[in-house]
Amino acid sequence: MRQENKFYLLFQFTLRKAVSMPVKEKKHPRRKPAINMTQGSIVRCLLLFSLPLLAGNIFQQFYNTVDSIVVGNFVGPDALGAVTANMPATMMLISLFIGFSSGASVVISQYYGAGREDLLRRTVHTSVVTTVILGIVLTLFGVWIAPWLVHFMNTPDRIAGQAVVYLRIFFSGLLGLMLYNMGSAILRAVGDSRRPLYFLIICSLTNVVLDLVFVINFRMGVAGVAYATILSQIISAVLVFAVLFRSRENYGCSMKEMRIDPEMLRKVVRLGLPAGIQMALTSFSNIFVMSYINSFGPGSTSGWGAYQRIDAFTVLPVMSIGIAITTFVGQNAGALQFERIRRGVRTAILMGLTVTVAISVLLYILAPQAIGLFNQDPDVMHFGVLFLRLLGPLDFLVCFNQCYAGTLRGVGDSKAPMLIMLFSFVFFRQIYLYIIAHTVNSVGLIALGYPAGWAVCSLIMFFYYRFSPWEDRLRNEFGENEGEML
């Protein structure tokens, strides 16, 4: 009983400290935990911002991985396939919103870097109200379309029923996920990646506990995993908005300001919609990839799912650095510090390559042990190890396209990354898959469609970044602040 009280008191202290932090600074017009990326060491700025973000992403991936480990070991390989096979379908539906939140983050970071408080607040409140509306619409649409998505992915019959159950429960709690992502995007846009981490830790631990209770104790199967996920996401949304509504900073939320500003909405949509369309179409393209993988049987489906859960840890560092460079570039774009932007991009790529290569080597060596955590079925082990050792060493290609795409979005050009990624991840990849499937039909060569798309995307993205006139456009937009900001 004493041990339980200790954990309860620790949880209360962590929660109270995280939520109440902003209130202590009421007397000051600006608070200092947010990172000003327009000055100081570039490496330090990127590390201070990306490390909490990386830790948060690790915790988020950790509870997604625990979902798979629990169902794979306590329910069976079919349940593992049902949970992991849904990733392209869920990403396709929420990608438009993810793009919207990235657009909001860019606009907020630019106004924050330029010191335009009124425009900053209008953007924040417009983004929140729009998130609620989109959340309701996507929830209804997702619940309705779930059976069609499962059928479209050519999911094996013995897995399909469980996959539909998981998808419908997941989509029913979509609003919590969207609100958390938007609230976190607002805080990260002003350089605060620390408190989203705190809330994600609480969310992740809650999800793990609920997984064990619902699946092992209540024997709810894939439904238990889905309920654990949406309840945890709701908790994280409540926590992040408790901070925003209690904040006295210029990015804090107020109910009386909750309205959609058409001008700010247009700017957020202009920056975010291309990224959202690109991610949605890429995810839709990945549904085709999943259908090819599924055609090799349930073992291939489950092995691919286990591989994706593990490989996600390899690309998490560069994904975090990609988000960090977007905020870094956004703030420096508002301050018209172009040379600092260029040095930041080079630094971000080098950081991403170093970490990604190191993790890839480790996972190549430990591939059998890593896949075995999910399920010991021989088919699952065979396909999982094949995918991990074949694709893992090529993950370094992601570093280039993520850093360049984040840079272009940070300077306000989200249309070019959209078109480049659509060509690479949808058009080129589908042509590649069609040729392979109708000639040799090898599961390994089909899987190589992923890194082939990464390579094409990185090459095109580099040349566009190198020769596009983003500096001139920023001078036209923020030129009146050039003397003040520099």
pTM of the model: 0.71
Judge whether 44 lies within some domain: no
Q: Which residue has the higher pLDDT, 56 or 26?
A: 56
Which domain covers residue 262, as residue numbers?
A: 61-480
Query: Which segment, 55-59, 374-378, 451-455, is predicted with the most confidence on average?
Result: 451-455
CA atoms of 248 and 459, how far apart (whole Å): 44
Question: Tens of pLDDT along 210-236?
Answer: 988 999 889 898 999 999 999 999 999
Q: What is the dihedral of CA 416, 417, 419, 423, to 10 degrees?
A: 140
In a domain, 146, yes or no: yes
Domain annotation covers residue 155: yes
What is the tens place of the pLDDT at every residue in 15-25?
Answer: 444 444 443 33
pLDDT at 272 over 70: yes
Stretch (H or E) spanning 86: none
The residue-averaged pLDDT of 188-198 equals: 82
**DSSP category for residue 131:** H
Residue 108 forms part of a structural domain = yes
Count of structural domains within the chain = 1
Q: What is the pLDDT of residues 385-410, one digit of tens each?
A: 999 999 999 999 999 999 999 999 88
pLDDT in tens, 96-120: 788 888 889 889 988 887 788 899 9
CB distance 79 to 163 below 8 Å: no
Neighbours of 76 (CB within 10 A): 16
Q: What pLDDT does residue 99 have?
A: 80
Closest to 333 measured CA to CA, from 445, 215, 481 = 481
- How many percent of the chain have pLDDT more than 90? 41
Domain membership flag for residue 41: no
Quickly list DSSP for 254-308: -GGG-S--HHHHHHHHHHHHHHHHHHHHHHHHHHHHHHHHHTT-HHHHHHHHHHH
440-454 pLDDT tens trace: 889 999 999 989 999
**46, part of any domain:** no
Could you tell me if residue 18 is inside a domain? Answer: no
pLDDT value at 345 more than 80: yes
Instruction: Give me 386's structure tokens.
Output: 């094949």
Q: Is residue 405 part of a domain?
A: yes
| Whether residue 482 has pLDDT greater than 50 | no
- CB-CB neighbours of 351 under 10 Å: 22
DSSP for 311-347, please give it: HHHHHHHHHHHHHHHHHHHHHHHHTT-HHHHHHHHHH
